[in-house]
Chains A and B, each alone.
Chain A
């Protein structure tokens, strides 16, 4: 039963990732791209959790924590850069 669940979840995550990539490719502003890449990182963390469920191990827990912090730092840095660029 769990195999089917993992397949369904993987397909949903894949469709979400493809949508994020399309938004990254054609986003009108850089902030749209940052937003889409943030969601992309969340999808990657969710996929890591899904893989841990599939193979029943806990090796990727720290990668999930690191991905959370990385998304925060990235989006804050880019939005800071965009603000400063206009004031200069």
Chain B
């Protein structure tokens, strides 16, 4: 039983750390901010869950579960919020490369709110431009 639990701990820790390595590789190799966001969220939830599970099983104590559940739940609550904020400001500041998007549904709303686009806010025409050529 002890050996089984130790092997389980080893597998969980290696998988959890592998998520961090995958996030680093993705951050280096992906070409765009939005795709890098996709890579960066890998260790936030799944990687932490695996590492925390490995830690709890290795320590063999119920007492650390509430603290780690607090940390993981905090991560679960805040990761979508921060990803949303980063994506939103990236879209607003043209840091996100919109030429690589297949469909840009937010541009419909932005154009409708802005009315006639006065200040060069024409993401829809930009998105359709490659198809016209």
Known: A19-B25, A58-B64, A64-B71. A49 touches B55 (CB 8 A): yes
Please state if B6 and A1 are interface contacts (CB–CB under 8 Å). Answer: yes
Stretch from B45-53, B110-118, B123-131 at the A interface: B45-53
Known: A35-B37, A72-B81, A76-B85. A82 touches B6 (CB 8 A): no
B75 at the interface (CB under 8 A from A): yes
Please state if A35 and B92 are interface contacts (CB–CB under 8 Å). Answer: no
B109 at the interface (CB under 8 A from A): no
Classify the secondary structure of A's interface with B: helix
A72 neighbours in B (Cβ, 8 Å): 74, 78-79, 81-82
Which size class do B's interface residues fall under?
35 or more
State how many angstroms separate the Cβ of B36 from the closest Cβ of chain A. 6
Contact of B93 among A6, A15, A75, A86 (CB under 8 A): A86
Of B14, B16, B55, B58, chain A has the most CB atoms within 10 Å of the CB of: B55
Offer 12 A-B interface pairs, CB within 8 angstroms, sorted by A.
A2-B10, A5-B13, A15-B24, A35-B86, A42-B43, A50-B17, A53-B58, A65-B70, A68-B74, A72-B82, A75-B82, A83-B93
Contact surface of B with A, Cβ cutoff 8 Å: 6, 9-10, 13-14, 16-18, 20-25, 27-28, 33, 36-37, 40, 43-44, 47-48, 51-52, 54-55, 58-59, 61, 64, 67-68, 70-71, 74-75, 78-79, 81-82, 85-86, 88-90, 92-93, 95
Contact surface of A with B, Cβ cutoff 8 Å: 1-2, 5-6, 8-10, 12-13, 15-20, 22-23, 28-29, 31-32, 34-36, 38-39, 42-43, 45-46, 49-50, 52-53, 56, 58, 61-62, 64-65, 68-69, 71-72, 75-76, 79-80, 82-83, 85-86
